[in-house]
Amino acid sequence: MKTVNVGILGLGTVGAGTAETLLKQGPLMEARTGIPLVLKKAADLDLGRDFGFEIPKEILTTDAQEVINDPDIQIVVELIGGTGIAKKLVLDALAAKKSVVTANKALLAEHGTELMAAAEANGVDLFFEAAVAGGIPIIKALREGLVANPITRICGIMNGTCNYILTRMEREGIDFEVVLKEAQELGYAEAEPSLDVDGWDTAHKAVILSQIAFGVPLNLEDVPVDGIRGIDPEDVKNAKELGYRIKLLAMLDQSEKGYSVGVQPVLIPMDHMLSNVHMSFNAVLVDGEVVDETLYYGRGAGRLPTASAVVADIVDAARDLSGDAHARIPLSWNANPAPAWIPPEERLERSYLRLFLKNAPGSLAKVAEKLGSYGISITSLVQHENDEEGGFVPVVIVTHVATVGAIQSALADLAEMPHLVEPRMVRYRLEELNS
Ligand code: HSE
């Protein structure tokens, strides 16, 4: 079969890992696919850095356009990141009728519709497996393995930094800030951690999965996003006592009423498989109407796990080129009819609440009455022995399903009753994850 030439833009951690994998695993991939893949050029502004392996000098350049405009290169791999220059280079490559592979989640989440349209207009492929959950082939699973399935739920642990921090907080009973600092010193967490710990990295991935699962353009701004910064070891301990573990989850749900997407810390049962995804590992649970529940587990980041996904996309693009095709495996980016969007306040959720109540006769009854007035029923309640007469004592309440709007209104009312409840109130979603 004819050789397919590849050019890489960006030789950072993932770019260098991709170059290394292409060179080292080239013979294996050729044996498996019959297609010789050649890394023809690789561009990076800093060619003096240590790439972690011997990269042939003659393929290196500092000029991205030299890669894009090389007439022999059919596949351009964008591994620069960000939504600035990366977007321009991806559009340039698509306009030059090159298939593009990228791992850029922010770019796909913010400009996916425009980029997909550019790929379609130029009759080339745009692949992005590595943008979601690193080495886990979740996009391939959704597009191919589960093609027969209306998707009813996706529930993913898709940020290794957050999962690492939450695992250590639970195991060692220590504060978020302490683990974050150590994780930064060890190089597990970024010096500027907000993209990870405030939930935005997970949200980018959730938007991409939502597009694929539900086929509707979704704006990142419409997704409620809450990170792990505010999680108190006390809540981690309380969750454990109740038989749950706190995980940062992307939750995508679809029913006959419509679909919803959110990123938030959620209490899930300790014995559920997702609960047992520890440290920096990722996992994605997908519920399909035909297949029922499926679960995908692996490394969501890192030089070679991410390269594994990038190279799989390169092979897919090369297979299309060898068959003189594009979009051989279609991606429904615009479903018709589109499902309705369920606004965050109309979603039905169970809640874990931690309130500080005045230690006085009738306090609990008043809180229960307030929740009841919004149709919120209590399923369990924990108050440890406390003889601090007249002070404020912690009470943990778990509720039945209620709309998020009802819970928010009840808590807003309670916040107006400082003689009864302290203003600091904690609420997390609680999910049994039953299919
Ligand atoms: N920073 C991400 C994580 C990996 O911690 O999982 C890239 O999305």
Residue 249 Cα to ligand 1 midpoint, Å, equals 14
pLDDT of the residue at 325: 81
**Best of 201, 208, 248, 278 for a ligand 1 pocket test (most atoms within 8 Å of beta carbon):** 201
Please compute the mean of the pLDDT values over residues 167-181 and round it to a whole number: 97
Residue 383 Cα to ligand 1 midpoint, Å, equals 38
- For the domain spanning 138-298, the CATH number is 3.30.360.10
One of 205, 247, 358, 370 is an active-site residue; which one? 205
Q: Does the C-beta of 20 come closer than 6 Å to ligand 1? A: no
pLDDT-derived band at 194 (thresholds 50, 70, 90) equals very high
- Regarding the domain delimited by 4-134+303-322, which CATH topology (the fold level of the hierarchy) does it fall under? Rossmann fold (3.40.50)
How far CA 12 is from CA of 38, 87, 215, 303, 404, in Å, comes to 20, 17, 32, 9, 42
Q: Does the C-beta of 287 come closer than 6 Å to ligand 1? A: no
CA 267 to chain CA centroid, nearest Å: 17
Dihedral over alpha carbons 170, 176, 182, 188 (to 10 degrees): 80
The model's pLDDT over 413-434, given as tens digits with 9 standing for 90+, comes to 999 999 999 999 999 999 999 7
Residue 9 Cα to ligand 1 midpoint, Å, equals 20
Ligand 1, atom 8, residue with closest C-alpha = 201
Boundaries of every domain in the chain: 4-134+303-322, 138-298, 345-430
Please compute the mean of the pLDDT values over residues 172-193 and round it to a whole number: 93
Angle at the Cα of 22 from the Cα atoms of 310 and 296, rounded to 5 degrees: 35
Euclidean distance between CA atoms 17 and 306, whole angstroms:
8
In three-state secondary structure terms, 268 is strand
Q: Which two tokens stand for residue 410?
A: 């009840």
Quick one: which atom of ligand 1 is closest to the CA of 282? 6
Residue 397 Cα to ligand 1 midpoint, Å, equals 33
Residue 435 in this model has a pLDDT that exceeds 80: no
Residue 246 Cα to ligand 1 midpoint, Å, equals 18
pLDDT-derived band at 94 (thresholds 50, 70, 90) equals very high
Q: Cβ–Cβ contacts within 10 Å for residue 58, how many?
A: 7
Class of domain 345-430: alpha beta
The model's pLDDT over 339-371, given as tens digits with 9 standing for 90+, comes to 999 999 999 999 999 999 999 899 999 999 999
Residue 381 Cα to ligand 1 midpoint, Å, equals 36
Euclidean distance between CA atoms 5 and 149, whole angstroms:
35
Ligand 1, atom 7, residue with closest C-alpha = 301
Q: Does the C-beta of 198 come closer than 6 Å to ligand 1? A: no
Please compute the mean of the pLDDT values over residues 46-52 and round it to a whole number: 94
Strands 37-43 and 4-9: parallel
pLDDT of the residue at 50: 93
Give 311's DSSP letter: H
Return the exposure string of 96-110: e unless at least 16 CB atoms fall within 10 Å of the residue's CB, then b: bebbbbbbbbbbbbb
Q: Does the C-beta of 201 come closer than 6 Å to ligand 1? A: yes
pLDDT of the residue at 44: 97
Ligand 1, atom 2, residue with closest C-alpha = 159
Task: Please name which of 100, 156, 132 lies closest in space to residue 273, comparing C-alpha atoms.
Answer: 156
Q: Does the C-beta of 161 come closer than 6 Å to ligand 1? A: yes
What is the average pLDDT value for the chain, to the nearest integer? 95
pLDDT of the residue at 386: 73
Residue 118 in this model has a pLDDT that exceeds 90: yes
Ligand 1, atom 4, residue with closest C-alpha = 301
pTM of the model: 0.95
Contact call for residues 99 and 75 (beta carbons, < 8 A): yes
Q: Does the C-beta of 196 come closer than 6 Å to ligand 1? A: yes
The model's pLDDT over 100-112, given as tens digits with 9 standing for 90+, comes to 999 999 999 999 9
Residue 333 in this model has a pLDDT that exceeds 70: no
Q: Does the C-beta of 301 come closer than 6 Å to ligand 1? A: yes
Q: Is the dihedral of CA 14, 20, 23, 28 positive or negative?
A: negative
Helix axes 404-415, 363-373, angle to 10 degrees: 140
Residue 203 Cα to ligand 1 midpoint, Å, equals 11
**Best of 13, 159, 297, 304 for a ligand 1 pocket test (most atoms within 8 Å of beta carbon):** 159
Quick one: which atom of ligand 1 is closest to the CA of 201? 8
pLDDT of the residue at 212: 93
Contact call for residues 415 and 341 (beta carbons, < 8 A): no
Please compute the mean of the pLDDT values over residues 197-225 and round it to a whole number: 95
pLDDT of the residue at 387: 67
Q: Does the C-beta of 159 come closer than 6 Å to ligand 1? A: yes
205 is catalytic: yes
Quick one: which atom of ligand 1 is closest to the CA of 105? 8
Please compute the mean of the pLDDT values over residues 129-138 and round it to a whole number: 97
